[in-house]
Each structure stands twice: as C-alpha cells, then as structure tokens.
Structure 1
Amino acid sequence: MKNVLSTKLLTPGQKTILNDAGINFQEYEAINIHYQEFQLTTDFDYFIFTSQNAVRAFINHNSNFHTKKELGKECFCVGGKTKLLLEQNGHKVVKMAHNGAELGSFIVKNHKKASFLFFCGNRRNDDLPNILTKHKVHFKEIVVYKTELKPQHFSEHFDGILFFSPSGVKSFTMSNEVGNSTVFCIGDTTAREAALFTGSIIVADTPVVENLLKKVTLHYNLSIKK
C-alpha cells in the first residue's frame, strides 16, 4: 500500500478519494492563515483575488462595508474555487484564470486602462504584480492575511507528498528532506518551489484539490471505486 502525506487537512470527501483507491495517507497543516485588519479603498474599478484565503479574509473583514456597490464590486481572480466563493458572496467575476501570470496577461491585453485593488497575502507570488507593474497598469496591493509556516518533522518515508502552495513546500522542507518521494503540486507556482528540492513532480491539470488527488491515484495505477 502506498503511503502519502498531505500538507493540508483534507475534507471527508477528499479523504474518501484516497481511501477508495487503497492509498494510506497522513495529513497535517503545514501553514496557518491569520486574517489582517485593513482599510478598504473603493476608488478602484475592479478587485483582484488570487486565492480563497484572500476572499475569506475580505469577507470576514469587519469594517468599511457600507454600500452594495462596495460589496458587489466586479472581480478578477485565480482558480475556480476562488471564483465560486466570490460569486456565492455576491460578486461578479469578470475573468477567472488558472494562475497569476495568465491573469496578468489578460488584464494587460483587455483592461490596461482600468485600476485594480489587489487583495493578497504577505507571501503572495510575484508573477501578477510584476506583469502589471511592467505594463504600467494602475493597481494597489492590500495584505489581508498572513501565512505562518508550521514546520513539523516526519521520521518515516512517504511515497508521495502533496503540496498546495509554495509556503507549504517551504514549511515542509524546513524540517524534512523530500528525498525520492514523488511530489504532487496543486499548480505551477507550487511546482516551481518544489523544483528547488526535487525533479520528481506531478502537477494537477487544474488547481483543484480533487484533481490533484486524481493525479495521485492515477500515478499509482489505482482507480477510484465507483
């Protein structure tokens, strides 16, 4: 039986995918997310969110939500689940991209004259802001959450390790070696960080946990029970 480690806690449905495929797994939280207080500036055309954490921090923010216009600002985002979370909370998503570089390129091509408020974490990826800065797109960053690394040592060997963010990779590798484990990454930016430690990397086709778990089962030639 293959033994894998998830660097985030999985939902019951996600655990079922691995259990039904006959894969033994352990799980832990490699990072903690802490929401930050911030002042909401509304004199921008659009909002940008590149993670679900940023959306949750925005939703949980307890100040400056005065009008429906502020709550219903049109948004650009990264990831299907980020898009769904925004829509569930009354926001129209103009464009959903699979990563920051793709979103930046779309904005430069189609909305270069607009202004953007970018909600992000303290460890956000540089791809999107670098593209916007290079092409002189007007935007402002607001850090709405902070990521805390939680290194934890594991003595056993894992056939596979599941990573869901570059921060998760950083946290794990502070106390462990990847060794000859196969690394499964939720997206390209996470894979770039993992590439600093291993060449054995498999990336999900889309940045969704269930798709990553499918990659795990396919890699080990196991099928999910129907």
Structure 2
Amino acid sequence: MKTILSTKKLTEKLKVKLENKGFLVVEKKFIKTKTIKFSIENLNENLIFTSKNAVKSILTLKKEISNKKVFCVGSKTKKLLEKNGFEVIASAENAKDLAEKISQDFSSLHFTFFCGTIRKATLPQILKKNNIELNEIVVYKTVLKPHKIETKIDGILFFSPSAIESFLQENELNETICFCIGNTTAESLKNKTDKIIVSKKATIEALIKKCIKYYKE
C-alpha cells in the first residue's frame, strides 16, 4: 500500500477516491491564510486574481467592485468569481500564461492585482516588462505551518509553493514522488528533486487523478 501525504485538507469525496484505489492518505495543513486590512482607493478598471484566497478576501466588497473586468488564474478561481457576479474576460492555467495573454491582447488596459503576502513575481514582472500599468493590493497573508512527518511517505500532493517551503522546514524529500498542481508549484522544487509530476490542469481533482494514474500504470 502506497502512502500519500496531502499538504492540505481534502474533501471527503477526494480522500475516499484515493482510499478506494488502495492508498493510505495522510493529511496535514502546511499553510493557512488570513484576510488582512486593505484599501481599494487606487483601483484600476481591470482586476487580476491568481487564487481563490484572493477572491474570498474581497467578497465583502464585491458590490463596490463587481462592475470591474476580471482576469484570473485557474478554473476554480474563475468559477468562484462568476458565482459572485464578476465578469471574467480572460483566464489561464498559470500566472505566466495569463500575463502573456494580457501582454498580447490587452496591453492598453490598466490593472490591479489582488494578491497575498507571499506571491510569485512572475505575473508582475512580465506585465511591467511589457509596460503594462499595474498596481498590487495585498489582501491576505499566508502563514507557514511546518509539520514533522514521521510516517514513511511514497508521494506528496503539493498545492502551492508556500506549502513546499513549509514542508521543507521540517522534512526532506529524499526519493519521494512530488505531485504538483501546476508549473508554478513545480518550479519551487527546481534543484531540490527531479521526481516531479505535474497535473495537466491546475485543479485538485486533476492532481489526484494524476497521482492514481502514476501508481496504477
């Protein structure tokens, strides 16, 4: 029996899906997020979200900003935005692809990027390199919650670069297979291991499907 560590709490349905395929599932939350105080005084007409956490952090202000056009990363983020009345103009599977799409098709627009305290520089760097006006508003903080894992682990499900950072504070990867939810997360393992499997889509469901397929082939 293979033991899989999930670095976030899974839904019961997804946990059972792994267990029904013969896996032992260990769950530990390696990060937590918390909304912080922020101001929307300097808001541009187009908003960027790269995570559901950022969306959740601004929902109390959705009446004031729901008339803005939105660009986002991830199908789950897009679904949450649309559910709350936002018009999503464009989306992509990762920050790099979204930044390149904006640079190519929407370079004349002005943007505000809602992000967390720990955010990758990929998107801002690409937009600024292409002279696209961008400001950032930090709306939540990410807190690392390292755990020492004593159980022998065969595979790890990683959902963010922050979770990788947190995991490595108390543990080593050794020969463990690392399943990453997207290329941005996978990039954080560069030079740390070559045992990296990336899901085709940046969703938890796709990552678990990839994990099952890897061990059952």
Instruction: Tell me if TM exceeds 0.5.
Output: yes
Could you list the per-position Cα deviations for residues 122-168 of structure 1 after superposition, in whole angstroms to 9, with x for gaps in the alignment? 11111100001101100110000110001110122200011000000
In the alignment, is the contact (CA less than 8 A) between 1:195 and 1:201 conserved in 2?
no
Among candidates 154, 173, 181, match of residue 178 of structure 1: 173
Q: By how many angstroms is 1:43 displaced?
A: 4.6
Secondary structure class of the residue paired with 1:195:
coil
1:83 aligned partner, one-letter code:
K
Aligned equivalents of 1:133, 1:42: Cα separation in 2: 18
Secondary structure class of the residue paired with 1:137:
coil
Could you list the per-position Cα deviations for residues 70-108 of structure 1 after superposition, in whole angstroms to 9, with x for gaps in the alignment? 223210000000000000000010001111111111111
Aligned to 2:116: 121
Secondary structure class of the residue paired with 1:217:
helix
Aligned equivalents of 1:185, 1:43: Cα separation in 2: 33
What is the CA RMSD across the aligned residues, in angstroms? Answer: 1.3
Aligned to 1:144: 139
1:181 aligned partner, one-letter code:
T
Aligned to 1:209: 204
Secondary structure class of the residue paired with 1:37:
coil
Using the size of structure 1 for normalisation, the TM-score is 0.92
2:38 aligned partner, one-letter code:
F
Using the size of structure 2 for normalisation, the TM-score is 0.96
Where does the alignment leave 5 or more consecutive residues of structure 1 unmatched? Answer: none
Aligned to 2:50: 50
Aligned equivalents of 2:82, 2:21: Cα separation in 1: 33
2:169 aligned partner, one-letter code:
M
In the alignment, is the contact (CA less than 8 A) between 1:150 and 1:171 conserved in 2?
yes
Tell which deviates more after alignment, 144-153 or 213-222. Answer: 213-222
Q: By how many angstroms is 1:14 displaced?
A: 1.2
Aligned equivalents of 2:117, 2:21: Cα separation in 1: 37
Q: By how many angstroms is 1:197 displaced?
A: 1.9
1:49 aligned partner, one-letter code:
F
Aligned to 2:30: 30
Q: How many residues are matched?
A: 217
Aligned to 2:149: 154
Aligned to 1:20: 20
Superposed counterparts of 1:67-82, under 5 Å: 67=64, 70-82=65-77
Secondary structure class of the residue paired with 1:34:
strand
Aligned structure 1 segments of 4 or more residues deviating by more than 4 angstroms: none
Aligned equivalents of 2:153, 2:191: Cα separation in 1: 18
Tell which deviates more after alignment, 38-47 or 134-143. Answer: 38-47
